[in-house]
Structure 1
Amino acid sequence: MDDTELHRERILRHVSPIITGRFVGFQASYTREVRVGRALAIAVFVTAGIAQMIGSLMRMRPARRSLKDLRKGPEFLVTPVRLRDDLGQTYEIEMHGQLPQSALHRGDLVQVRTQPQADPTLPVKLMQVVNLTTMQPLTPRIPTRWSHLGPAMLLQAAAGLTIFGVVLAALLR
């Protein structure tokens, strides 16, 4: 091997739910989209549509979103995080969402709780990190499907479901 050749650091995938090591740093972040299930999107869309119809008859201005917009889902920030254990092995895990920039510094001793992702080719997902240097517990926050749908749409869907239930009960009498 030539001395001028670059040596790549070997990155390991950890299988244990708890990893303890030194914080090496954050890698370049990117966004990933969460898909909303077809059944959930259609159920919310249809029941909200019932409330929208009633609202339009009463000259109220309902919140309108297309089924395609509902299915698209929220985007969240993905940041690969690297840790090094006492044996010098480097591990990469994915952090979904954000943490304060000042929460972790290079060399801090951390303990992270992880969870495997649905796609086995992806690194484990960081669920919670405890900075053992400062004794600060941290949990990254990401947008959820419910926050993506929005309170107005969910209230309309609840109203539409109630109206549907009342009409169905009246018909079945």
Structure 2
Amino acid sequence: MDDTELHRERILRHVSPIITGRFVGFQTSYTREVRIGRPVAIVVFLTAGIAQLLASLFRMKPARRSLKELRKGPEFLVTPVRLRDDLGQTYEIEMHGQLPQSALHRGDLVQVRTQPQSDPQLPVRLMQVVNLTTMQPLTPRIPTQWSHMGPVMLMQAAVGVLFAGAVLALWLR
């Protein structure tokens, strides 16, 4: 056993929804992909396809994306954050998204609201942090499945739903 293993600090993961402590620092960030559910992707893809078909009839160039691209989902930044409480215990929390670099400085007193993740092996997720040193509330922003699909695709899907609804109403009349 070498000297580094003797002095390795113990990192706690399972914590209450609110943690108050000193900001120790950010760890190395990485990206994680969020998959979009098959039913949502198929409904948006098919209804947008109706609008794309209509656009091609009027010789307009529709925006096209494959179902595979749509299901892939957005990637977001994951940054492990470490906090130390008054007892000297270190907690690791995952922050999804980004915060301004100047928002937190080593040693700042912070209060963090967390939420457990669907995978119990992962640390809890940071939902909101209040820097008690500066009294600044901070919320990391991440892309959603709707922002990943994009406004053009969602507008095409809405037009497709309206057109399909109109055709169905005429047919049932």
TM score, norm. by length of structure 1: 0.97
- Cα deviation, residue 8, structure 1: 1.3
The verdict on how the C-alpha distance between 1:108 and 1:52 changes in structure 2, with shifts beyond 3 A counting, is same
Cα deviation per residue 1:1-53 (whole Å; 9 max; x = unaligned)? Answer: 77675421100013311000000000000000000000000000000000000
RMSD value, Cα = 1.3
1:68 aligns with 2:68: yes
- Counterpart in 1 of 2:134? 134
The 4+ residue runs of structure 1 with deviation greater than 3 A are: 1-6
Q: Does 1:83 align with 2:107?
A: no
What is the one-letter code of the residue matched to 1:71?
R
Cα distance between partner residues in 2 of 1:134 and 1:84 = 18
Please name the residue that 1:14 is paired with: 14
Please give the per-residue CA displacement for 1:76-108, whole angstroms capped at 9, x wherever unaligned: 000000000000000000000000001000000
Q: Give the structure 1 partner of residue 160 of structure 2.
A: 160
Give, in whole Å, the separation in 2 of the partners of 1:36 and 1:4: 42
Q: Give the whole-Å Cα distance in 2 for the aligned partners of 1:30 and 1:6.
A: 28
Question: How much identity, in percent, do the aligned residues show?
Answer: 84
Mapped to 2, the partners of 1:4 and 1:167 lie a distance apart of 71
2:52 paired residue number: 52
Does 1:171 pair with 2:171?
Answer: yes
Helix, strand or coil: the match of 1:65? coil
Residue of structure 2 equivalent to 1:30: 30
Q: Which residue of the partner structure matches residue 42 of structure 1?
A: 42
